[in-house]
Structure 1
Amino acid sequence: MKANFIYRTALAASFGCSLLLGLGATATNARAAELKVMSTVALTPTLDELAPKFEASGNHLTIVYSTIANLKKKIDAGETADVFILSHPVLDDLQSQGKVAKGSVADLGTSYVAVGVRAGAPLPDISTPEKLKAALLATKSISYADPAKGGASGIHMAKVIDRLGLAEQMKPKTVLVPGAESGELVAKGEADMAVAQASEIAAVPGTQVVGPLPGDFNSKITFSAGVGATAKDPAAAKTLIELLTGPTGKAVLKSKGMDPA
């Protein structure tokens, strides 16, 4: 009898544990979310570090990176996402069109168009427009995003070069890239100077940020996140944005060369 009682007690305990484990697994699956994110390439370093933290609880992120202009074209053509990470003005526009949930836009941080060189290389003096012009003339090669592909920093730099009257002089020593690869070219020695968002340059090992473009050549951009109006799991999308805007997100943004909001 005693042995039979012990067996039944053990069986009941085993069943109880199995039930609890099953309920736990069900709860975990219920919390898990599949989110699609459309993000500017400027946030690549930040999301690469934060995505595993968000996915640690069973969630999964599919992130589409591109220039803001290219992503805007995709969105205008009907593509959507659970979370959009773009410039604040673009998100405001999408919100007014009903493509971003009203009241969901949150600022993440501000970055500026910067000059970068290889780590350990002498830092060019770009503190005034005149000194920037001299630095551009002195460099053997420069790389920035192709303006034709919509990269904001590339469009801006092309205008700066034109304002400095250097369009013809710079053309033969300019290497255009489709997105945020200019820092990588500098790190590999394939270009001597990079111009991109400071956060993009700072994230590439083997590069260093010289500083922002001087005076009224400087260009800052505020990046923000918003929940897609058609998001399948708005609560999970909001949780991701809270991670980006919270203490952990702010620390990562700062470490990637961005000024947190």
Structure 2
Amino acid sequence: MHYISRLLKSLAIFLALAGGCTGAAGAAEIRVLSAGAIEPGLKAAAAAFEKQTGHGVRITFNTAPELRKRMAGPSDFDVVIAPPAVVTDLAAASRLAEVRANVGRVGVGVAVREGVPLPDVASVQALRASMLAADSLVFNRASTGIYLEGLLQKMDINAQVEGKTTRYSDGAAVMEHVIRGKGREIGFGATTEILLYRDKGLKLVGPLPADVQNYTSYTAAPLASSRQPALAQEFVVFLSSAVAKPLFVAAGVTD
């Protein structure tokens, strides 16, 4: 009788441990390669997805040019989130599954360090004058920077500000430069990136004037080579859900 009791107890423990192992084995992780401009909103959405599903999300952020380089060869990512041009190229190369989700769009903002007089950016003419008066202009070499190059040429001040322009490979370096500045530095970047540094000594002056504003849209898609195709698709669909959308909006990513 005692033998049977011990046997039943051992069996119960085994089943409990087996059940725990099954639960752990059932949890999976997907790898996401994303453009950096949507970082705050995507991190919040990924955390909500993890809480809802029990699966993990590991995210790598890059600028759009670097993202293209990362995707030029074989990839072990499950989902990519990028501007439409990058997504179109990947789709043409048969790198993506059919599912797509519009994550949102991000505009360009103007930033200065906390405590300095705010430049006037309310109109195109005011922005032009503020750029000319600034000690330096700081922006990246990615999507925002490429647009700023063209804008300076349209404003016909490219030659006048070229000598006081500093460029970085990514938005984080731009923000750090402006925060450490000593004069009248004006930084430009995705509004989401600027907001990310508002507690670190950076001030969002405002968006570019509506007449010259530039929005970059971001689309999510599962990779055809994903190791977790069903979960990758589930995550992409989640990004445009009623749960995720407010998280993106709160972080400055709009429809």
Asked if TM exceeds 0.5, the reply is yes
Q: How big is the shift at 1:27?
A: 3.1
What is the root-mean-square deviation of aligned Cα atoms in Å? 2.6
The alignment's TM-score, normalised by the length of structure 2, stands at 0.85
Contact 2:38 2:253 in 1 (8 A): no
1:238 aligns with 2:230: no
Specify the alignment match of 1:203 in structure 2: 196
1:110 and 1:38 mapped to 2: Cα distance? 17
In structure 2, relative to structure 1, the CA distance for the partners of 1:8 and 1:229 (3 Å cut) is same
Specify the alignment match of 2:139 in structure 1: 144
The alignment's TM-score, normalised by the length of structure 1, stands at 0.83
In structure 2, relative to structure 1, the CA distance for the partners of 1:119 and 1:21 (3 Å cut) is farther
**Residue of structure 2 aligned with 1:159, choices 103, 125, 150:** 150
2:152 and 2:162 mapped to 1: Cα distance? 10
2:101 and 2:47 mapped to 1: Cα distance? 21
- Which string of whole-angstrom CA distances, capped at 9 and with x for unpartnered residues, describes residues 6-60 of structure 1? x744652452243133123223312323x22221111222344444555567644
Specify the alignment match of 2:34 in structure 1: 39
**Residue of structure 2 aligned with 1:194, choices 187, 193, 198:** 187
Specify the alignment match of 1:223 in structure 2: 218
1:68 aligns with 2:64: yes
Instruction: Find the residue that maps to 1:208 and give its secondary structure.
Output: strand
Contact 1:244 1:250 in 2 (8 A): yes
Instruction: Find the residue that maps to 2:86 and give its secondary structure.
Output: helix
**Residue of structure 2 aligned with 1:169, choices 153, 157, 160:** 160
Structure 1, 159-168 or 76-85: larger mean CA deviation? 76-85
Gaps of 5+ in 1: none
**Residue of structure 1 aligned with 2:80, choices 73, 77, 84:** 84
Contact 2:41 2:253 in 1 (8 A): no
Q: How big is the shift at 1:156?
A: 0.4
Structure 1, 184-193 or 77-86: larger mean CA deviation? 184-193
Contact 1:39 1:63 in 2 (8 A): yes
Larger relative contact order (Cα-Cα within 8 Å, sequence gap ≥ 6): 2
Q: How big is the shift at 1:112?
A: 0.7
Q: Which amino acid aligns with 1:31?
A: A
**Residue of structure 2 aligned with 1:115, choices 91, 110, 113:** 110
Contact 2:100 2:236 in 1 (8 A): no
2:13 and 2:246 mapped to 1: Cα distance? 40
Identity of aligned residues (%): 28
In structure 2, relative to structure 1, the CA distance for the partners of 1:126 and 1:60 (3 Å cut) is same
Q: Which amino acid aligns with 1:141?
A: S
1:15 and 1:105 mapped to 2: Cα distance? 47
Specify the alignment match of 1:15 in structure 2: 11
Specify the alignment match of 1:183 in structure 2: 175
Q: Which amino acid aligns with 1:250?
A: K
Contact 1:101 1:227 in 2 (8 A): yes
Q: How big is the shift at 1:197?
A: 1.1
Contact 1:28 1:58 in 2 (8 A): no
Structure 1, 185-194 or 222-231: larger mean CA deviation? 185-194
